[in-house]
Amino acid sequence: MTKAQPLTRHIISINDLTNKEIETIFEVAQGFLKDLADDNISYRIGRSTDVAAKSILATLFYEPSTRTRLSFESAMLRLGGANITSADPTVSSAAKGESLADTIRVISNYADVVVIRHPRDGAARLAAEYSQIPVINGGDGSHEHPTQTLCDLFTLKTKKKSLKNMKVAISGDLKGSRTIHSFVYALARFGATIDPLPAPGMELPAYVDRRLREEFHCRMVSKDPGQPHGGSIDALYVTADQPHQLSLIPDPEIDYGLLVEKKIDAVYVTRFQKERWSEKERAYPKVDAKFLGEARFSEASVMHPLPRVNELDASFDTDRRAVYFQQAAYGVPIRMALILLLLHLQKNQSLNRFSGGFAEPDHPVYAQPIGTGLQCDNPNCITGDPAERQYAANKFYIVESDSPRQRRLRCVYCEKDIDETTAVHFVVADTVRKTFSPGLQPLAHAGHDRLKHLVIYRSDAEAAASGFAPRDSGGNKVRTG
Ligand code: NCD
């Protein structure tokens, strides 16, 4: 009998972890903070263990990093393991044009776990498809940064005990900040209220806003007590206890007025993500003593994933509410815990339940090779990278929203949606019958084998140009000529 291999888990999104698993990571991290404490600083790991001796972590970074890479490497050393690193794409084979898909297959044979950072949205998901070892997303474009969120949540938990009913303001570049995207999903999942304070034009992206409301049960409540219903702007995201529909039906258990008036428990500041914008400067809020002097921030922990540039005044560092250096310090115990669990080196059986994922998406997946049918229209998606095109696919979740008629496609890699618009009218072509028909309906009930024969286009004209004929209402091929 062959021995069962432990499951290879990849942490690409914060939603790849269940709430229970996040709690387990915190418990293990807390254990390290206790057992390997620095004698003088409570949140610093001061000693090492050898639990991961002989294991190797690879850090593969295509973008600048200080905290994420060094805290992962420090975590591995504290566990008794070793690191190999490729931190400068100009001196690796990336400079010769090597694809991520090839690089990761090679690295899979050199290390036991890999952390990757990449400028393209969805790069870490593509890497995971080609990896035999666990892939941890250390930040992919403006998509997600799940391990930063683990540090953020852990910091909040140590300060405030429970996230339930906590009110967290998020400030700055909510559009370009990957840290924010992972963070807001987690806040919603743990029952916090989110108070967005975006810089002008930098609101949460539509796909994140929509997932908060449709999948994470957030209800929009206007910050203006005179307005009963909130729009996406100037509204709080309040998490309901019960699933679904709650974006429409108020939860009788929640006093929304009280939540609007409630003081802020934490404010999370982010820098302008200039590398994700074409402009190098934009009007941007400055968080300083004056701003934080408002009564609503009097008990707020002030957080920042760092690096900060000018948006958070250094004079604030000595304020009792500043927790950002502690937040960065937690990168070591949190990442130690994550590595240990992913490598199945956790000996304590009660903590060794690291399986499954958060609500594994049960949406059907449509996939066709790049070049066939509809492609993700996010220009920064990994599927648009010329070096990766032959390794990626046009792969979408078929997502149904409130009404089954409203189907849309979510790119499996970057998770951005493609909606029907005035310019986009999905049609589905059948490669066996050589016909096409309007709408995504044929995909909804197609089994796996049938899905392989269906190709989505954006319009009748695109399907026709690819050699398909329209079907009439009786399902017959329309004769032309
Ligand atoms: C963040 C990142 O890379 O997204 N940095 C980090 O890992 N702490 C935040 C940022 O760069 O602004």
Locate 186 and state its tokens: 């987690």
Q: How far apart are CA 86 and CA 345, in angstroms?
A: 25
147-328 topology per CATH: Rossmann fold (3.40.50)
Between the alpha carbon of residue 2 and those of residues 5, 112, 260, 273, the distances in Å are 9, 21, 58, 49
351, 371, 199: which is closest to 284 by C-alpha? 199
If one residue of 59, 61, 68 were mutated to test the ligand 1 pocket, choosing by the most ligand atoms within 8 A of its CB, it would be: 68
- Written as one string, the DSSP assignment of 320-332 is TTB-HHHHHHTHH
Convert the pLDDT of each residue in 183-200 to its tens digit. 999 999 999 999 999 999
Report phi then psi at 128, rounded to 5: -60, -35
The 10s digit of each residue's pLDDT in 336-369 is 999 999 999 988 767 766 654 455 567 889 999 9
384 lines ligand 1 (CB under 6 A): no
Cβ(331) – ligand 1 distance below 6 Å: no
More confident position, 213 or 108: 108
- Here the tokens at position 481 are 């000529």
Tens of pLDDT, residues 367-378 = 999 999 999 999
Residue 399: beta bridge partners? 408
Cα(480) to ligand 1 centroid in Å equals 56
Give every CB contact of residue 276 below 8 A, 6+ residues apart in sequence.
141, 142, 173, 175, 176, 380
Q: How many CB atoms lie within 10 A of CB 469?
A: 16
In short, whether 149's Cβ falls inside 6 Å of ligand 1 is no
Residues 438, 237: Cα–Cα separation, whole Å: 35
Is the pLDDT at 159 greater than 60? The verdict is yes
Q: List, for residues 296-308, the tens digit of each pLDDT value.
A: 999 999 999 999 9
Same topology, domains 14-144+330-351 and 147-328? Answer is: yes
Query: What is the 305 CA–ligand 1 centroid distance (Å)?
Result: 6
Q: Does ligand 1 come within 6 angstroms of the Cβ of 147?
A: no
pLDDT digits (tens, 9 = 90+) for 260-295: 899 999 999 999 999 999 988 889 999 999 999 999
Ligand 1 centroid from CA 328, angstroms: 11
Decide: 306 in ligand 1 pocket, CB within 6 A: yes
Fold that domain 14-144+330-351 belongs to in CATH: Rossmann fold (3.40.50)
Report pLDDT for 280: 83
Cα angle at 229 between 227 and 232, to 5 degrees?
110
What pLDDT digit, counting tens, does each position of 82-92 carry?
999 999 888 88
Locate the domains of the chain by residue range. Answer: 14-144+330-351, 147-328, 365-470
Torsion of CA 104, 108, 112, 115, to 10 degrees: 0
Name the closest-CA residue to atom 3, ligand 1. 139
Instruction: Calculate how far, in angstroms, residue 429's C-alpha sits from the geometric centre of ligand 1.
Output: 42
Is 90 exceeded by the pLDDT of residue 55?
yes
- What is the number of the ligand 1 atom nearest to the C-alpha of 138? 7
The rounded percent of the chain whose pLDDT value lies above 70 is: 89
Per the CB < 8 A criterion, the answer to whether 266 and 166 are in contact is: yes
pLDDT at 401: 73
Q: 3-state SS of the chain: helix, strand, coil percent to 5?
A: 30, 20, 50
- Determine whether the shortest distance from the Cβ of 68 to ligand 1 is under 6 A: yes
End-to-end CA distance of the chain: give it in Å, rounded.
Answer: 64
